[in-house]
């Protein structure tokens, strides 16, 4: 039975198992990162909840996998329509749980809803390899079974949808596991999804640190789509290997931006700082190190520092704020460690750093002028608003330095000489490479990482394929 109209209450957050809201004896809560105040209670799932969800998912798979693709696509479209009336509620909830400014939260909700509609347009038709008098050979894309979507805390609305939509379109069932830091949008989304999908097709479980490992180890689960850090991604893969589950891993990044000497300094600096500090730097595809040509370095640094000093930092609910707090205390403390060894002169450049006198996990956007090339800030993923600036003069040298990392998520080149920019871009080892922009994604183009930034991809036909098994069907025409 579908969940009734009581859905609209954005204060009650439960698991969804087999089409019904499901509570647990023990609960926990997230923290509003702008105020430090507790958000509502959410379930701490037990192993019994996991067993119940997996059983319901397996049962639902039997029929959902047989539903024609056009009907499954229509269910996604109807779900998108069903979310629209709640877009504002979701945006407010997203700011409350994640911290991002309301305007960006609104944008994330719209991106998520659009992603449902974009995915509904995709399909993986059978491929006929041979059709002769004697036989027909068909390559088919068949659903895998019960999937799990494990989601981080930086985009808790859109990343849930990025897992759910391709999973169910291709005929799988899915259990969503939101981050314990930001469980609210994910739980509410799945609760609303019950109006559009049969029981067991889309479920959600929230919990503590043991929930993810229970799911990745469970023999009834066939596919894990994971977005999170590279460290956790390796644990997920190790655990999934015991049952040879399929995995898609969308992991961390250390995106380099290479700035050539012919750019319009003011305009490029503004864009680059936006792509570095958006979501307080907590984006897998945020610019995380800049290589600026030495001929323009001082001017570029001055323009970037001027822009950065004017970035408005505050609670996501305040008018005109560009940067909210860090999402949680763990990340706040982690980002602070990247300031170790930073001098007062370096901090002064952008009035960077933090102010402990206020509640909330706020760190002001900070540029660090030429840290050591082998420093932690220049080499490890900071995932926060502190950005190292380095210089270059030789093209092959800067390409080698940009590639000298185990990460390979995104990278960009900034130049008005498109030949030079394309030449550099083609040599960068990353899943997404841009010229004169960064972070741009298209629903038709695969998004994934090279090296330790991931395995497999999301978005487009390539992302859809990750939710399927390949089957070669040989039909010989006479027995």
Residues that bind ligand NAD (CB under 6 A): 150-154, 177, 179-180, 212-213, 216, 227-229, 232, 235-236, 250-253, 284, 381, 383, 409, 449, 454
Note the helical H segments in 227-296: 230-241, 265-277
Can you point out the beta strands (E) in 34-189? 38-43, 127-131, 135-143, 146-150, 173-177
Return left, alpha or beta for 383; rule: phi > 0 is left, psi -120 to 50 is alpha, else beta: left
Cβ nearer to ligand NAD, comparing 163 with 364: 163
Q: How far is the CB of 292 from ligand NAD (least distance, A)?
A: 23
Q: How far is the CB of 319 from ligand NAD (least distance, A)?
A: 27
Sign of CA dihedral 380, 107, 164, 32: positive
- Asked whether 258 and 414 are in contact (CB, 8 A), the reply is yes
Q: 15-17 and 20-22: which strand pairing?
A: antiparallel
Q: How far is the CB of 420 from ligand NAD (least distance, A)?
A: 28
Return left, alpha or beta for 317; rule: phi > 0 is left, psi -120 to 50 is alpha, else beta: alpha
Q: How far is the CB of 42 from ligand NAD (least distance, A)?
A: 13
Catalytic residue, candidates 191, 222, 250, 381: 250
Query: Would you call 311 helix, strand, or coil by DSSP?
Result: coil
Query: Would you call 175 helix, strand, or coil by DSSP?
Result: strand
Q: Comparing C-alpha atoms, which of 208, 188, 216 is closest to residue 85?
A: 188
Cβ nearer to ligand NAD, comparing 109 with 301: 109
Q: How far is the CB of 469 from ligand NAD (least distance, A)?
A: 23
Cβ nearer to ligand NAD, comparing 216 with 346: 216
Q: How far is the CB of 431 from ligand NAD (least distance, A)?
A: 8
222 is catalytic: no
Sign of CA dihedral 392, 394, 399, 403: negative
Q: How far is the CB of 450 from ligand NAD (least distance, A)?
A: 11
- Tell me the CA distances in angstroms from 133 to 136, 329, 474, one per residue in order: 8, 67, 13
Cβ nearer to ligand NAD, comparing 193 with 285: 285
The CB-nearest residue to ligand NAD is 212
Q: How far is the CB of 344 from ligand NAD (least distance, A)?
A: 30
Query: Would you call 215 helix, strand, or coil by DSSP?
Result: helix
For residue 29, which phi and psi values (nearest 5 degrees)? -150, 155
Angle between helices 102-120 and 158-169 (to 10 degrees): 10
> How many other C-beta atoms lie within 10 A of the C-beta of residue 434?
21
71 Cβ neighbours under 8 A, 6+ residues apart: none
Can you point out the beta strands (E) in 241-393? 246-250, 255-259, 287-293, 353-354, 363-364, 366-369, 386-392
Q: How far apart are CA 433 and CA 68, in angstroms?
A: 36
User: Which DSSP category does 20 fall into?
Assistant: E
Cβ nearer to ligand NAD, comparing 199 with 408: 408
Cβ nearer to ligand NAD, comparing 87 with 455: 455
Residue 205 exposure: Cα atoms within 13 Å on the Cβ side = 31
Q: How far apart are CA 322 and CA 103, in angstroms?
A: 9
> Look-up: residue for tokens 């901090």?
347
Catalytic residues: 250
């Amino acid at each position: 039975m579908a969940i009734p109209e009581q859905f609209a209450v954005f204060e009650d957050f439960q698991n969804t198992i087999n089409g019904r809201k499901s509570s647990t004896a023990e609960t926990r809560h997230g923290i509003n990162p702008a105020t430090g105040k507790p958000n509502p209670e959410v379930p701490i799932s037990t192993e019994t909840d996991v067993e119940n969800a997996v059983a319901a998912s397996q049962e639902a798979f039997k029929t959902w996998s047989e539903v024609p693709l056009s009907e499954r696509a229509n269910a996604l479209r109807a779900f998108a329509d069903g979310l629209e009336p709640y877009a504002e509620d979701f945006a407010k909830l997203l700011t409350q749980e994640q911290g991002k400014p309301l305007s960006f939260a609104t944008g994330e909700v719209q991106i998520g809803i659009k992603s449902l509609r974009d995915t509904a347009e995709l399909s993986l038709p059978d491929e006929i390899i041979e059709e002769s008098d004697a036989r027909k050979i068909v390559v088919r894309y068949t659903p895998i079974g019960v999937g799990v979507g494990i989601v981080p805390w930086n985009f808790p609305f859109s990343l849930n949808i990025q897992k759910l939509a391709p999973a169910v379109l291709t005929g799988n069932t899915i259990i969503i596991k939101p981050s314990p830091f930001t469980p609210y949008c994910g739980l509410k989304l799945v609760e609303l999804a019950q109006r559009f999908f049969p029981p067991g097709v889309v479920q959600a479980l929230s919990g503590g640190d043991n929930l993810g490992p229970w799911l990745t180890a469970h023999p009834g689960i066939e596919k894990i789509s994971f977005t999170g850090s590279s460290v956790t991604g390796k644990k997920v893969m190790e655990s999934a290997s015991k049952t040879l589950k399929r995995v898609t891993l969308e992991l961390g990044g250390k995106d380099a931006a290479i700035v050539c000497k012919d750019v319009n300094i003011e305009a490029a600096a503004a864009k680059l700082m936006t792509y570095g500090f958006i979501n307080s730097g907590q984006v897998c595809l945020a610019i995380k190190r800049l290589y600026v040509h030495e001929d323009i370095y001082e001017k570029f640094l001055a323009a970037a520092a001027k822009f950065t000093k004017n970035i408005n930092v505050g609670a996501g609910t305040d008018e005109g704020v560009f940067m909210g707090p860090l999402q949680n205390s763990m990340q706040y403390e982690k980002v602070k460690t990247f300031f170790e060894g930073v001098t007062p002169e370096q901090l002064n450049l952008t009035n960077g750093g933090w102010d402990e006198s206020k509640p909330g996990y706020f760190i002001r956007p900070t540029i660090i002028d030429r840290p050591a090339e082998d420093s932690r800030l220049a080499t490890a993923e900071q995932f926060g608003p502190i950005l190292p600036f380095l210089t270059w003069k030789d093209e092959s040298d800067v390409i080698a330095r940009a590639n000298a990392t185990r990460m390979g998520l995104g990278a960009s080149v900034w130049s008005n000489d498109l030949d030079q920019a394309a030449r550099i871009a083609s040599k960068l080892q990353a899943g997404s490479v841009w010229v004169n922009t960064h972070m741009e994604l298209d629903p038709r183009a695969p998004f994934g990482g090279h090296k330790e930034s991931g395995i497999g991809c999301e978005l487009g036909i390539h992302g859809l394929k990750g939710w399927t098994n390949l089957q070669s069907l040989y039909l010989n025409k006479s027995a």
